[in-house]
Amino acid sequence: MNSVISSHSPQAVSQAVSVLNAGGLVGLPTETVYGLAARADIDAAVANIFRAKGRPTGHPLILHIADISEIDRYAFNVPSAALTLAQHCWPGPLTLLLHKTNAVSHLVTGGRETVAIRIPANECSRKIIEQCGNALAAPSANLFGHVSPTTAQHVLNDLGDKVDLIVDDGDCTIGVESTIVDFTTAQPQLLRPGGFPAEDLELIIGQPILMPSGDSRASGMLDSHYAPKCTVVLAETIAEAKQALSEHDSARILEHWDNSPLYAASLYTQMRQADSDGITAIIAVLPNTSGLGLAIRDRLNKASFL
């Protein structure tokens, strides 16, 4: 059995904290997508995250903390550029990849010596993390390989029978996952484009963030990921999209064709809606790569990969 509680309820924080402290799983709102959270220091709870999602255990989880001072508890040798980004961007849609301390179990990191950390912008979720007194491990609250959830209903649809409590804070404002930057390499690398545009991060630290190479490819960099059931057809222009539409029986063109926040915020909802409407194909216009465009293109490319 599970229940959904509004983030505005006076009991939301205390109920979520008691579920988490007892080793349970909570669907947690963030500004990017909903997370499936467990206390990162309770191994059985972390193991349950992988079980609930059907996620292979080698795929590491992001630690969610409430305050920047907690970085040192979970990471060491943090480069000054990483700290600068944390100070400028947190709370917000940025995840830093750092060297882990012994306070982080290998269960969370999929056996790696590195750990991904972020502070989510959602106020209710930050209070929950703070009152747990420990970081929460939380992947997106969807079944493995499926589209990330941007509403509490999406979490209920995917994981309703596997989660102990869902905190409902309405629609996620950003709608695509956090940007992940690897600071364990000689030069920072962009492991996943996301809700914080990479060019803005480069301006803040005054140095380039390289495209990933070698071992540092995140598992989110799998070719196929974030996929709805329907076929996803990509188009470079709206004219091309309209042409593709005329060639498919039951198809729909995704709304918003640019790199606007609206495209990102509605992307996963539009994909899930197409599936529940029984649409067989969605046609998406790829935005240019600036701003949120890089993340939108990345998710569309992965959703279209067969």
Which residues bind to Mg ion, rule: CB under 5 A?
140
Count Cβ atoms below 10 Å from residue 222 Cβ, excluding itself. Answer: 13
C-beta pairs of 15-21 under 8 Å, 24+ apart in sequence = 15/165, 16/128, 16/165, 16/167, 17/128, 17/131, 17/132, 19/164, 19/165, 20/45, 20/128, 20/132, 20/136, 21/132
User: φ, ψ for residue 137 (rounded to 5)?
Assistant: -85, 130
Q: Is-contact 282 251, C-beta < 8 A?
A: yes
Q: Which is nearer to ligand TXA, 24 or 139 (CB)?
A: 139
107-131 burial: b if 16+ Cβ within 10 Å, else e: bbbbebebbbbbbbbbebbbbbbee
Locate tokens 């484009």: which residue? 193
Contact with ligand TXA (CB under 6 A): which of 219, 231, 273, 304?
219
Going by C-beta distance under 8 Å and a sequence separation of 6 or more, which residues neighbour residue 102?
A: none
Cα–Cα distance measured from residue 47 to residue 34, given in angstroms and rounded to the nearest whole number = 19
Contacted by 114, from Mg ion, ligand TXA, none: CB < 5 to 8 Å by type: ligand TXA
Contact with ligand TXA (CB under 6 A): which of 27, 175, 220, 287?
220
Q: Which is nearer to ligand TXA, 62 or 303 (CB)?
A: 62
Helix (H, G, I), strand (E, B) or coil at 288: coil
User: φ, ψ for residue 301 (rounded to 5)?
Assistant: -60, -45
Q: Does 259 participate in binding ligand TXA (rule CB under 6 A)?
A: no
User: Which residues between 160 and 179 bind ligand TXA (CB under 6 A)?
Assistant: 177-178
Site string (7-36) toward ligand TXA, x via CB under 6 A: -----------------------x-xx-x-
Q: Which is nearer to Mg ion, 192 or 256 (CB)?
A: 192
Closest Cα partner for 104 from 82, 72, 79?
A: 72
Q: How far is the CB of 85 from ligand TXA (least distance, A)?
A: 15
Closest Cα partner for 166 from 52, 50, 42?
A: 52
Q: Does 48 participate in binding ligand TXA (rule CB under 6 A)?
A: no
Q: Two tokens at 86?
A: 């944390």
Q: Which is nearer to ligand TXA, 138 or 265 (CB)?
A: 138
Q: Does 59 participate in binding ligand TXA (rule CB under 6 A)?
A: yes
Contacted by 138, from ligand TXA, Mg ion, none: CB < 5 to 8 Å by type: ligand TXA
Pick the stretch among 58-66, 74-82, 247-255, 267-275 that binds ligand TXA (CB under 6 A): 58-66
Handedness of CA 142, 191, 264, 253 (dihedral sign): negative
Contacted by 112, from Mg ion, ligand TXA, none: CB < 5 to 8 Å by type: ligand TXA
Pick the stretch among 59-67, 150-158, 275-283, 286-294 that binds ligand TXA (CB under 6 A): 59-67
Contact with ligand TXA (CB under 6 A): which of 109, 122, 134, 259?
109
Q: Does 99 participate in binding ligand TXA (rule CB under 6 A)?
A: no
Total binding residues for ligand TXA by CB under 6 A? 28
| Amino acid, single-letter form, for residue 144 | F
Q: Which is nearer to ligand TXA, 34 or 232 (CB)?
A: 34
Alpha-carbon distance values, 137 to 36, 240, 252 (Å): 8, 42, 36
Q: How far is the CB of 225 from ligand TXA (least distance, A)?
A: 8
Which residues of this protein are in contact with ligand TXA, per CB under 6 A?
30, 32-33, 35, 59-62, 93, 95, 97, 109, 112, 114-116, 120, 138-140, 177-178, 180, 191-192, 218-220
